[in-house]
Amino acid sequence: MSISKILFSFSGRIPRQTYWLAHLGIWASVIAFAMILGIIGALFGTRAHSSGFPVMVLTVPMYLCVLWCSLAVTVKRWHDHGKSGLWMLISFVPFIGPFWALAELGFLEGTQGPNKFDDGIFSGDSALAVDDPLFSTPPIAGRQCVYCQQTIVSFIGAELCGECNEPAHVGCTREHVASAHRSPAVAAYS
């Protein structure tokens, strides 16, 4: 699943790790935006209360984008539990609602395998789905390392072997090439 689909689409489902990373990215961008507005205000000698309209022109689109992205991520996380995105309304139940939503979305694992919202092609709680063309071409996440046989969770820290084009953890690549392909150049460096 591409980052644009994670942030802007209301279809599909995402695991816990993607949910947390998406919200971390959203709020990091909000903080960066606020800092940029503060720097602009300081450079031009304006105060927040005296520069209402220019700040509003910049802030309202940012707020709408943050709201859209947060809703899209939350709906997809409810989908991972096999529930409709309307379950996000539970957050408005006084006292218990926000805690329920946080516990279910942020800490409980979603349904294993396919459900009515997606066919479940991503692997467990991997950070990015295996079909993300931006980060993993050909897909690496969710496949087994050709050397140690452990599942590769994300494209970060993994690569394709230059000899056989099979996925391997970065730390396993040298050993794989030395043992499977009998590369004298790699063996000389060991």
Q: What is the pLDDT of residues 110-122, one digit of tens each?
A: 887 778 887 555 4
Distance CA 167, CA 165 (A): 7
Residue 158 in domain = no
Residue 184 in domain = no
Sign of CA dihedral 88, 92, 93, 97: positive
Q: What is the pLDDT of residues 136-167, one digit of tens each?
A: 445 677 788 998 998 887 767 788 887 888 88
**Cβ neighbours, 10 Å, residue 1:** 21
For residue 86, name the pLDDT band (cuts at 50, 70, 90): very high
Contact predicate 131/121, CB 8 Å: yes
Count structural domains, the chain. 1
Residue 36 in domain = yes
Q: What is the pLDDT of residues 88-114, one digit of tens each?
A: 999 999 999 999 999 999 999 888 777
Domain housing 19: 3-106
Residue 69 in domain = yes
Residue 82 in domain = yes
Dig out the tokens for 174 from the structure.
């040298």
Residue 51 in domain = yes
For residue 135, name the pLDDT band (cuts at 50, 70, 90): very low
